Amino acid sequence: MPTLLWSAAGVGALALLLGTAPAEAQAPIKIGASLSLTGTYAKPGTYQKEGYEVCADELNAKASSHPSPPPPRSSGKGANTSSW
């Protein structure tokens, strides 16, 4: 009976050691977009492409840094100028 107890304890310890392995980093997520970059709709397509690039840059910066405070609000008429 004690041998069975030690075997069960050994299996439990092995499960704990294998179950707490560090997680691997996720692979990058690839997102595609169909854009008109030549011809009649080249100008709007270029604007869309630049917008996607800005969005990707902002998301990557946000993911790799600590949260930043929200941007300051305008001080126009009726704007809430209290601090966050």
Of the pLDDT bands very low, low, confident and very high (cuts 50, 70, 90), residue 60 is confident
pLDDT digits (tens, 9 = 90+) for 40-54: 999 999 999 999 999
- On whether the CB atoms of residues 70 and 84 are closer than 8 A, the answer is yes
| 56 pLDDT above the threshold of 60 | yes
Q: How confident is the model at residue 30 (pLDDT cuts 50, 70, 90)?
A: confident
Give CA–CA dist 26/78, Å, rounded. 45
Determine the pLDDT at residue 61. 86
Which pLDDT score is estimated for 28?
79
Select from 63, 11, 15, 43 the least CA-distant residue to 3.
11
DSSP 39: G
Report CA Rg, the chain: 27
